Structure 1
């Protein structure tokens, strides 16, 4: 599968210097468009209130994911329904590495606070 560099086409995580996508994979053409990204949120980073056109899950590999729903340590899987408004990031005590898994092509729209 192709790998996309941080900041490449469609890489929303690269919009913030404290959050970067390490790797990006796409599904086989002609299928659902599901995507899997390996992402690192740097300590103290919070992705502000936003929504996606797709449902997605986050599987925490290392550190703690902090969301509007609570905190999730390594080994947790958190599901976000399509169209939901959310915020997530890493706590002040350390980076958070996770897999970001979508059910179809991914986009992001930020919501005014």
Structure 2
């Protein structure tokens, strides 16, 4: 019976590992997108300032409008990242719990308490 339970938990462990890796990859992808978005916002701010210095208010306004669109996207990305980060942490906790359970059951099995 203990062997069957260990087999089932090891199967679950494989699924949790795969899911945890997928969630972590999503978290990393979102972080890269956030970084790119922040760089784009900085770039548009610089362009806007240079346009103002050159006396082109219309062009500066255009850059600021684009910056606002990117700022909105940044907010969405940050919210998505927070969710992915929380899910990643939850998956890590599940993985740690499964590993601890497996270790405990294998210890019990080694001690000869199998039913």
TM-score range normalised by the length of the shorter chain: under 0.3
Q: Normalization by structure 1: what TM-score?
A: 0.16
Task: Give the helix-richer structure, 1 or 2.
Answer: 2
Task: Give the strand-richer structure, 1 or 2.
Answer: 1
Q: Higher relative contact order at CA 8 Å, sep ≥6: structure 1 or structure 2?
A: 2
Q: Normalization by structure 2: what TM-score?
A: 0.16
